[in-house]
Each structure stands twice: as C-alpha cells, then as structure tokens.
Amino acid sequence: MTTFPIPSIPSAEAIPSTLRRPGAARFWWSVFLTGIFTGVGAAALTLLLEAVQYFAWNGSSTNILEAAGHVGVWRHMIILLGAGLITGAGQVILKQLSSGNGIDTTAAIWFHAGRMPALRTLGSAVLSVVDVGMGVSLGREGAPKQAGAVIANFLSDRESLSDEQRRLLVACGAGAGMGAAYGVPLGGALFALEVMRGRLALRYVLPAIFTSVIATAVSWLVLPDAPTYIIPAYTSSASSISWALLAGPIIGVVSVGYVRIVTWADLNRPKGWHRLVAPLLGLGMFGIVSIWYPQLLGNGKDISQLAFTNQVTPLLLLTLLLLKPAAIVLCMRSGAPGGMFTPSLTVGALLGAVLGYAWSQLWPGVPAGLFAILGAGAVLAATTQGPISTVVLMMELTGRYRSFILPLLLVVGTATLVARTIEPRSIYDARLTDDEVALRLKLREESSQ
C-alpha cells in the first residue's frame, strides 16, 4: 500500500479566532480579498458562459434546452464537434502549462496544503465554461470553484499564511466560487467547510461565511439576485414523509453506483494523443444523441426546472434517468472538464420524480415535482457526503425555507447514511486514489475526536 505523509492536526491557534491573535490582520485581509476577487471571477466566468451559449445556440444565453429545440439538427453536430476540437486542443495546451498532472482542488487541500498550479487550473476553468456553454453535459460551478481556490492560494503566498490557514482559505475560496455563481452565500460557506475542508469546526465558520457572503454580494452587482429554480409552495404531508423514509435508502444505493461510474470516467480520461481524438469521437456521438434528446445538453438546470414544476412526462423522466448519467460519463471520459454539482442534482431530480410517480400509484396526492426536489437533495447529499450544506443549498436555490424541510431532512439523512456506509468516496474525491481516500477519512475522524 502506498504511504503518504500525514499532515499534522492543527491546533486551535492555527486559525486566528479573534483580531487580537498574532497574524490575524494578514489572515482576515486575505479572507476579504479572496471574497472580492472570487466574486469578480465568478461573475466574469458566468458572463463568458452565457456569451458562448448565446453564440453557439443562436440566441439564448439562459435556456439551452429551448434554444436547442429551435436549431437544425446539423447545428447539434457542428457545435458538439467544435466542443470536442476545443477540448482536445485545450487539454494539450493545459498539459504544457505545468509539469506532471494537474492537482484536483480536493487533493490540493488535503495533501498539498492548498497549493495548486495556477495557470493550469485557471485554464481548465475557462475551458470548462466554454464546453458547458457549447452543451457539454457537465456543471458550470467547477470553474468559479477552481478560480476561487487559485485566488485563495495566490493570496496565501502573498501574505505568507501558514499551511493550515492556506488549506482553509483555499476551501473557502472554492465554496465562495459556488456561492457567487449560484447566489447561495450560506450554502457556499457550508459547502466549503463540510465538503471541501471536511471539518465543521467553530473557528472555521466565520472565514467561510465572510468569504462566501462577500463573493456573492460582489457577483450580485452583475448577476441576478434571484432563486435558481422557481417552484410552487409545496407542503409536507404524511405521504411525502413516508416516501422519504422508503426512498432514502434506494437513493443512497443508486448514488453509490453513480459515484463509482463517475470515478471510473474521471480516472480514465484520455492521455497522450488520445486527448485529441477522444473528445471529437465522444462529444460528436453526444451531439447525435442530443438531436433527439436536447434535454441532455448543458448542466441540466433547464430539465430540473421542468421536473420541479411537474412538466415532464413519466416516460421521458425514465428515459432521461438512464441517458443523463451516461451523457455525464461520456463527456468526462472524453476529457471534457466541468463540475458535478448541477448534473448530480439533475440526476437526483429525475430519480426522485420517477420514484415519486411509482409511489403515487399507491398513495396519490403529492405532486411529482416535490418528489423531484427531494430526490435532487438526496442525491446531492449522498454523492457529496455533505448533508447539512445540501439542505441549505436546496433551500437557497429554490427560495423555499420551510415548505418541504421535514421530508427533505429525512431523505437526505437516510440516503447519506446508506451511501457513506457503502462507499467513503464522494464525487469530489474522484481523482483521489483509494489510499488517499482512506487517509482523508482517517484525518477527518481524528479531527472530530
């Protein structure tokens, strides 16, 4: 078994909890600047994505599904082949920007004290935005998350922060990138701590909150301050609570399978000259499928919105439930960079709606849209292994804070427990080796004692 140096467990003094601590001014100044520049970066990357999508799909910068339905079939082929060409060329260029392989954000935080190659990481972020704008079936949050992490790493160098302060600041930058991109400041802060840093310690809370709030506020100067998903005021009921208890374990098991195929795809991205050929073949094939199923294009936000509002037929839901994970794996296996947050949410929405329709045959009365929302939250929690941040994110993304909280908590909790029992790896651990996952789990357990 490969051995890795075990980072020392930091003392409570490593992160200045007050302004009186030695070095506190440098640390909190870095927190403030990370929030500012991450918000600017998230807004710029979002505008770039919208511009690419507008140009590629002939007139829509916000709804790729609607735009794809109004263009000819050849445009699907041309755009996705173009994405394949850009991806292949981009991967070759990125390989030249740093020696060795790029460092994933999770690996950087846990095993490299937050250090990561700036040019290669930012180049990958821009490439992922272009790909998603052209219809690649991956998420757009990966780019602002990477940008926030790089900004935090740069400021840590500039202010000579300690390794533990750098780890936290890089995690906060990543969470702030997500918070700014989706307008979810509290969810972004909790994502930084629970998912990226892996520790919900009190001394970490204020840096995470300040970074995410500042970044989100800055992004709101350009981006709309509105919920990502507009849904009805669904209410909890005995039927939805019973469904949550029964569906949670099922969703947990499905999430394990999803994490494992995503891990396989990420670990088997093309290498060598295959970096040029694989994207053309894989994304070209995806372009053909998207002619009949344009719902597969992009990160999945549009089809999730329809599922949340009961506008998708059961047969189409079932078909997309099979095709969407396959599209995600195909795009990843082709070498396209991108995030996993919204694609995983979409898979959960489809799974929840399908299970909800089946449940309605036994206990009718609950709209399928509510089951889609609960399923989205359950898959997100089980695949990120971040139940607390997921619950908050779902409430912020929908702008609904109480209407479905009880069944959401139940389905999120049971799905996460089952998934964590079977598989310690999350979708953000895809590039970690088994030994690194085991070490990360050990460090998390030791820090919680």
Residues 215, 248: one domain?
no
Residues 260, 403: one domain?
yes
Tell me if 329 is assigned to some domain. yes
Residues 6+ apart with CB under 8 A from 385: 195, 416, 419, 420, 426
Residues 202, 244: one domain?
no
Residues 264, 122: one domain?
no
Residues 215, 133: one domain?
yes
| Residue 217: closest CA among 183, 189, 177, 190 | 183
pTM for the model? 0.92
Residues 432, 298: one domain?
yes
Q: pLDDT tens digit string along 324-367?
A: 999 999 999 999 999 999 999 999 999 999 999 999 999 999 99
Q: What is the mean pLDDT of residues 253-266?
A: 96
- pLDDT above 80 (res 441): no
Domain CATH code at residue 181: 1.10.3080.10
- pLDDT above 80 (res 251): yes
What backbone torsions phi and psi does residue 139 show, to the nearest 5 degrees?
Answer: -95, 155
Predicted local confidence at residue 98, as pLDDT: 62
Tell me if 18 is assigned to some domain. no
Tell me if 12 is assigned to some domain. no
Residues 33, 64: one domain?
yes
For the chain, the domain total comes to 2
Q: What is the mean pLDDT of residues 155-184?
A: 94
Q: How confident is the model at residue 9 (pLDDT cuts 50, 70, 90)?
A: very low
What backbone torsions phi and psi does residue 339 show, to the nearest 5 degrees?
Answer: -85, 170
Q: What's the CA gap between 249 and 413, in Å, rounded?
A: 9
Q: How confident is the model at residue 449 (pLDDT cuts 50, 70, 90)?
A: low
Residues 147, 210: one domain?
yes
Amino acid at site 234: Y
- pLDDT above 60 (res 59): yes
* The last residue of a domain, from among 219, 251, 283: 219
Q: What's the CA gap between 373 and 353, in Å, rounded?
A: 8
Tell me if 91 is assigned to some domain. yes
Residues 95, 144: one domain?
yes
Tell me if 176 is assigned to some domain. yes
**R_g of the chain computed on alpha carbons:** 21
Q: Is 446 exposed, middle or buried (0-12, 13-18, 19+ CB in 10 A)?
A: exposed
* The last residue of a domain, from among 219, 253, 268: 219
Tell me if 292 is assigned to some domain. yes
Write out the two tokens for 283. 């994304």
Q: Kindly list the distances between the CA atom of residue 82 and the CA atoms of 43, 161, 313, in Å, as whole numbers in the listed order.
A: 25, 42, 32
Tell me if 363 is assigned to some domain. yes
| Residue 104: closest CA among 46, 164, 170 | 170
| Residue 415: closest CA among 246, 195, 188, 187 | 246
Residues 398, 365: one domain?
yes
Three-state secondary structure readout of 195-233: HHHCCCCHHHHHHHHHHHHHHHHHHCCCCCCCCCCCCCC
Tell me if 47 is assigned to some domain. yes
- pLDDT above 90 (res 69): no
Q: How confident is the model at residue 102 (pLDDT cuts 50, 70, 90)?
A: low
Range of the domain at 254: 238-448
The answer to whether 131 and 48 are in contact (CB under 8 A) is no
Q: How confident is the model at residue 199 (pLDDT cuts 50, 70, 90)?
A: confident
Percent of the chain with pLDDT over 90: 73
Q: pLDDT tens digit string along 280-325?
A: 999 999 999 999 999 999 999 999 999 999 999 999 999 999 999 9
Write out the two tokens for 196. 């990226």
Strand partners, 139: 339
Residues 171, 292: one domain?
no
| 94-108, 157-171, 178-192: range with lowest mean pLDDT | 94-108
Residues 162, 86: one domain?
yes
Select the more confidently predicted residue: 17 or 260. Answer: 260
* The last residue of a domain, from among 163, 189, 219: 219
